Each structure stands twice: as structure tokens, then as C-alpha cells.
Amino acid sequence: MKGVIHTEVVKNHVGVITIDHPPINDLPGYLLTELADKIRQMGKRNEIKVILLKSGGNRVFCAGASFEEMLALKGQQEAEKFFMGFAHVIQALRNCGKITLARVHGKVVGGGVGLCSAVDFVVANRWASVRLSELDLGIGPFVIEPAVMRKIGVSGFEALTLNPGEWKSPSWALSSGLYHVVKEETEEMDQFVEEMIDRYVEYNLSALMEIKNMLWQGVPDWTDHMRDRASISGRLVLEDHAQRRLREEKAKMRK
């Protein structure tokens, strides 16, 4: 199914962005472009005080890069452009000028971990296990590394990157700093998010913007760094090893 990025403004001050690409909310290039654009647009709206990022479906928040698209990439330039899509989304979350929240209702893989790392506050449930599977596919989480490393440090990044076959629990993500709140059930998570939104509607927009600036103060510009990393990912994904592993994993998903 073709994916869509839905947007709406609720309670006059909350911009809601929903990734809707069943069944696993993976991200092809056109969705990455649209997602970054929607975040920037929400950031420019003066009435919005907070941006809430969420996704549709059940049990999978975001499965990261689209296998279909990675298998269809033709040439280094096209591959680099695809991986830069994740860089643009992360930079949009960083630079939008609004506090960003994520509602994480299920598993988070690859680039989805990058999204969780780039937002300012994450609320998850007990289904929200995390995994960086890139090395198992013959590539690596190069583009998202700056955001993930900033959030969970070198040791946490090593634990995910160098053990790509293991799912880390939501409690691990909480203790590592990737998540901020974990609720047992989805209903509890949604109630907590709703309560947060109600509070944000009453907060001073100027104060929120200053806090956003403070949270990212001193973080270096990642633009050139991410472009270099996209080049590495683009080269590796075109190699025979990665293409074979992607085909194998895609076949498993169809069973």
C-alpha cells in the first residue's frame, strides 16, 4: 500500500503528524521527503506549541528504511539521496523550533530509532522494543548515528549496532535515555500523551521555544557529517552482500 503522512492541528496548538504506511510503517524516499516537509511546515505555524509524531497500525511504530526501495536503488547518487532522506527528517525535527513528542506504540527498527532519538520526548508502551538491524543487512546506521549517539551515548549505540539480531526491551530503552516514559498498556500511554498535550496547550510558547534552543545548544551542525555518512550507506547498500541479505529478509517478510 502507498503510504501517507497525515497532519492535523488539535486543541488549536498541537500539530499532529502521523506516519501511515501499513503494515510496518517503513519509509521509502517519497515518505521521508513528505515527513520532513510536514515537520518544517508545522514548525513555521505560529500557533503551534508542540509537534506530536506518531504512526498508524498495531505493534510497529516504524520499521526504518524501505527494503523495496533499497533493492531498487540504481547507482551511488540515487542511493545517497535515499539515505539523506533520514538526515533531512532528523534535521527538521532538530530545527523546527518546536518541542517534539513521539507516541511509540510498537517496535522500532533502524531509521525509526533515529526518529525517536531526534524528538525531544518519547512516550512508549510495552510493545516498543528497539533494534538496529543494519549490520545484519550488510550496511550500518551511519546517517542516524549523530542523533542516536547524542541520546544514548557510545555504549548504548554499541549495544544496538554491534548486536543487530537482538531486540532491546522498552525498559532498556528507558534506562538508556532513548525513551522518557514507558506505560504497560497502550491505553495508559495514550492517556499520558493526552495529559501532556493538555499541559502544553497552556504553556508559554516563548518559554517552549527557549527550552528547545537550550536542549540543542552546543550540538554541532550535522549536515556535512550526515552527507558523508549517506555516501557510505549508499555505497554499501549497492554491494552484492547487502542486496542478497535484503532479498532474503524481504522473502521472509512475505511468508
Tell me what pLDDT residue 250 has: 86
b/e per residue 18-53 (b: at least 16 CB within 10 A): bbbbeebbbbbbebbbbbbebbbebbeeeebbbbbb
pLDDT in tens, 29-77: 999 999 999 999 999 999 999 999 999 999 999 999 999 999 999 999 9
List C-alpha distances in Å: 26 to 21, 34, 39, 109.
7, 14, 18, 9
36 within 8 A of 19, measured Cβ to Cβ = no
Tell me what pLDDT residue 45 has: 97
Which residues, 6 or more positions from 221, have their beta carbon under 8 angstroms from its beta carbon? none
Cis peptide bond N-terminal to 141, omega within 30? no
In angstroms, the CA 82 to CA 77 distance is 9
In angstroms, the CA 12 to CA 238 distance is 46
Average pLDDT over residues 236-252: 94
Average pLDDT over residues 210-233: 97
pLDDT at 251 over 90: no
- State the cell numbers at 149: 549517539
Average pLDDT over residues 228-240: 98
pLDDT at 255 over 90: no
Average pLDDT over residues 180-191: 98
Q: Which residue type does 80 have? A: E
pLDDT at 173 over 70: yes
Give percent of the chain with pLDDT exceeding 70.
99
Average pLDDT over residues 97-119: 98
pLDDT at 1 over 70: no
Q: Locate cell 527528517: which residue?
A: 89
pLDDT at 134 over 80: yes
HSE-CB of 65 using CA atoms within 13 angstroms: 32
- State the cell numbers at 243: 542486496
Mean pLDDT of the chain: 97
Q: Locate cell 510536514: which residue?
A: 38
CATH topology of domain 4-187: 2-enoyl-CoA Hydratase; Chain A, domain 1 (3.90.226)
Tell me what pLDDT residue 252 has: 81
Torsion of CA 239, 243, 249, 253, to 10 degrees: 140
pLDDT in tens, 5-17: 999 999 999 999 9
pLDDT at 180 over 70: yes
What is the pTM assigned to this prediction? 0.96
